[in-house]
Structure 1
């Protein structure tokens, strides 16, 4: 594929800069933000890759934004609500806003888990982390949206304060 764009709204996943994140032995991912690179504003889509044994984010739900997952390759264990569900290629997961769809996807396979993470991009959202009791606040841009548009963002909104990973299992 040529690096010359055919159209400003058409991108190829291989040409998008990759973000690599890692925290402890449990959290790690590679992400390519498809919507941001193609001019999307109200619908977010990222190509995600989880290495074996890793998860991208702590168990959480959104109060405003709806999410979805479409598995491309690999397999994983999806914790959604009170259930654990095995997912693999071709599986689509709807994650409406609210506590009933609290979720976390973990790659428990031997190969990288690749999926599309889709979401609405409402600029004001509250993210709740039921395991640790933390709350994330966003205003001006949705989680995953352009940080330069945000005028409020924080994961320390719990009574005793603390950082985003405080209270989360990052190892084991």
Structure 2
């Protein structure tokens, strides 16, 4: 193929062109933990080849929550409610937000933005969850006093791309030099 030929330009354009995903073409993944947590999810950004910005369609049944109370140290999130109703709970409850159709909520990184979605309505709560896909990220879970560490792929990204991923008690600390070989043998 000659450089700059129509076939070569078409191949280059296909690599750089925007990509799309349609919710109707994607399968739901489902998650349920105990009687409190359940959701269905379609990873829209991943299906469309997104790299720096994630977007998933969530559907949470009445009376359920998708995730434990948490916040991210490295990623900002946003929610856009499509249908249903619910509450975005904050850590102290003083800034809880009613989630109704056409509500958009920003959730910057950091401890000031502790969050948990709850469907306290009578029908499924459907919303788009949008996030930056920065890694590494540390996700903090204040109710259980643990942290999650994500390297190689952000939370919500491809878990197979992670080089380090784990959950640890928040107070599981060791000294910098603990267990390091400090003397020659």
TM-score by length of 1: 0.86
Which position in structure 2 is the counterpart of 1:94? Answer: 106
Which position in structure 2 is the counterpart of 1:28? Answer: 38
Which position in structure 2 is the counterpart of 1:125? Answer: 137
Q: 1:64 aligns with which of 74, 77, 82?
A: 74
Which position in structure 2 is the counterpart of 1:165? Answer: none
Q: Cα–Cα, structure 1 residues 98 and 35, in superposed 2: closer, same or farther, change >3 Å?
A: same
Q: Higher relative CO (CA 8 A, sep ≥ 6), structure 1 or 2?
A: 1
Structure 1: unaligned runs, 5 residues or longer: 1-6, 161-172
The alignment's C-alpha RMSD in Å is 1.6
Which position in structure 2 is the counterpart of 1:109? Answer: 121
**Which 4+ stretches in 1 moved above 6 angstroms?**
none
- Is the CA contact (8 Å cut-off) linking 1:64 and 1:124 kept in structure 2? yes
Structure 2: unaligned runs, 5 residues or longer: 1-16, 173-185
CA drift of 1:81 comes to 4.1
- Is the CA contact (8 Å cut-off) linking 2:145 and 2:169 kept in structure 1? no
* Structure possessing the higher radius of gyration over alpha carbons: 2
- Is the CA contact (8 Å cut-off) linking 2:59 and 2:125 kept in structure 1? yes
Which position in structure 1 is the counterpart of 2:163? Answer: 151
**C-alpha deviations, 1:3-36, integer Å up to 9, x for none?**
xxxx871111111121100000000000000000
Which position in structure 2 is the counterpart of 1:85? Answer: 97
Which position in structure 2 is the counterpart of 1:169? Answer: none
**C-alpha deviations, 1:66-113, integer Å up to 9, x for none?**
000000000001112432221100000000000111100000001000
Distance of 1:100 and 1:28 partners within structure 2: 25
TM-score by length of 2: 0.80
**C-alpha deviations, 1:35-77, integer Å up to 9, x for none?**
0000001000000000000001001000010000000000001
Q: SS of the residue aligned with 1:148?
A: helix
